[in-house]
Amino acid sequence: MPRFLHTADWQMGRTYSRFEPEDSAALVEARFQAIETLAQLATERQCDAVLVAGDVFDAQTVSDRTIRRVFNATSGFAGPWVMLSGNHDAALVESVWTRAQRLGAVPENVHLALQPGVITLETQGLAVLCAPLTQRHTYGDLTEPFTQYQTPEHLVRVGLAHGGVQGLLAEGIDATNPIAEDRAQTAQLDYLALGDWHGTREINPRTWYSGTPEPERFRNNDAGNALIVSIEGPGDAPQVEVVETARYQWQQWRLSLAVESDLEQLIGRLEALPPATVLDLRLSGEITLAGEDRLNQALSIAEARFRSVRCDRSELQLAPTEDDIAALHADGYLGTVIDALRERQEGEDGESARDALAILASLLKDDNREVQP
């Protein structure tokens, strides 16, 4: 019974310039570790092959070091790897793949699917029908020739392609080339392994997107997995197991604060997250000065625990209560300034007014601490 690992969208060479340098470096390294995890998983689960459905590399211009590290990371699995070119690493006349070959970086057990056709893995019982992208954008269905490909009857027939299933993934796909929803049926495939959609998704029992093994976007699409696919023999239904491979969990929260319980709930959610979290948080609504202190403390703790925390508070207005103002001892002119800043948060320069109010409150708190006996 052939068993193989289906993965895709490694995007090696991707950079994370919007993050702090330390976090960016860790996220880049996690992608190399993901390949090592896949190799280990394939070995432990006694897979016959690893199929990579496109976008191994994020761009044609990745460094030679990145190329070498990618293929070095596959060494944990000695069986055959089949790597398909996708839209980010299309098999151009001169490409990242030709450079890898010139470098001598491609191991003997790695098969590069750079031309349409069939890669026969006789020992493993697999015939892999390949639809590589030979240019970045293609508007025809490159899997259509699968219907004409002849393969030995005793081999399990597996398609390998990169693109968007027609009518299902129009939004959020990277490649423009369409793939017929019923391609597995029309081409008599036992399984169709797809890439481009970065999350795990079943199209039908014989057609799956594996998603990227390590998330790299704030998108709730079940990324960070690989698929272990077992097929008893030609014509039999595939058994697909989703296996989590992600090092980091990417979370994107959009929350509105209105009452104290909203803040309590936010802090509770922060405390429940695992350390390997990349969090993008955007807050709106209102918060008291006392609440702002609690929020700052919670975020400070989170920043030390998590891989990365980015918090946008530009739409979160400070709404000091009477108790807040009394605690600041902001009488007379200072009280008038605070009231003016509170009102200006509603205008075009609301973010500046909010920052000014926060700074003023912080200075007043520091002054009060200094005068206390």
What local confidence, expressed as pLDDT, does residue 354 receive?
67
Residue 186 has pLDDT above 90, yes or no: yes
pLDDT of residue 167: 73
What is the model's pLDDT at position 319?
78
Task: Give the rounded percent of residues in the chain with a pLDDT score beyond 90.
Answer: 74
Q: In this predicted structure, which of 9-13, 278-282, 288-292 has the lowest mean pLDDT? A: 288-292
Mean per-residue pLDDT, 316-345: 68
Average pLDDT over residues 182-202: 96
Tokens of 284: 């709106």
Partners of residue 110 on adjacent β-strands: 81
Q: Give 161's contacts (C-beta < 8 A, 6+ positions apart).
A: 53, 54, 84, 130, 131, 142, 143, 179, 183, 192, 193, 194, 195
Please give the Cα distance from 129 to 187 (Å, whole number). 10
What is residue 320's predicted lDDT score, i.e. its pLDDT?
Answer: 74
CA atoms within 13 A on the CB side of 92: 14
pLDDT at 52 over 70: yes
Residue 271 in this model has a pLDDT that exceeds 50 = yes
Domains in the chain: boundaries: 3-244, 249-371
Residue 373 has pLDDT above 80, yes or no: no
Looking at the chain, which runs of residues are DSSP E strands? 3-7, 49-52, 81-84, 110-113, 117-121, 126-131, 156-162, 164-165, 178-179, 191-195, 201-204, 207-209, 225-230, 239-244, 249-257, 277-287, 308-318
User: Residue 255 pLDDT more than 70?
Assistant: yes
Query: Between the ranges 175-189, 328-342, 348-362, where is the mean pLDDT highest?
Result: 175-189
Distance CA 248, CA 306 (A): 10
pLDDT at 37: 98
Q: Look at residue 338 in the predicted model and tell me its pLDDT.
A: 66
pLDDT digits (tens, 9 = 90+) for 194-249: 999 999 999 999 999 999 999 998 887 899 999 999 999 999 999 999 999 999 99
Amino acid found at 275 = P
**Residue positions counted in the chain:** 373
| Mean pLDDT calculated for residue range 304-328 | 82
Residue 329: CA atoms inside 13 Å, Cβ hemisphere, count?
A: 9
Which of the pair, 362 or 268, is modelled with greater confidence?
Answer: 268
Least confident of 7-11, 248-252, 323-327, 351-355: 323-327
The pLDDT assigned to 295 comes to 95
Please state, in angstroms and rounded to a whole number, the distance separating the CA atoms of residues 174 and 305.
33
Mean pLDDT of the chain, nearest integer = 90
Q: What integer pLDDT is reported at residue 23 of this predicted model? A: 95
CA distance 332 to 251: 45
Please tell me the predicted confidence (pLDDT) of residue 361: 64
Averaging pLDDT over each range in 135-144, 217-226, 267-276, 332-341, which range is the top one? 267-276
Whether the per-residue pLDDT at 371 is higher than 60: the answer is: no
pLDDT in tens, 66-97: 999 999 999 999 999 999 999 999 999 999 99
Average confidence (pLDDT) over 22-38 = 97
127 pLDDT band (50/70/90 cuts)? very high
Taking 80 as the threshold, does the pLDDT of residue 152 lie above it? yes
Is the confidence at residue 40, as pLDDT, over 70?
yes
Q: Could you please state the CATH topology (level 3) that the domain comprising 3-244 is classified under.
A: Purple Acid Phosphatase; chain A, domain 2 (3.60.21)
pLDDT at residue 246, as a whole number:
96
For the cut 60, the answer to whether the pLDDT of residue 370 exceeds it is: no
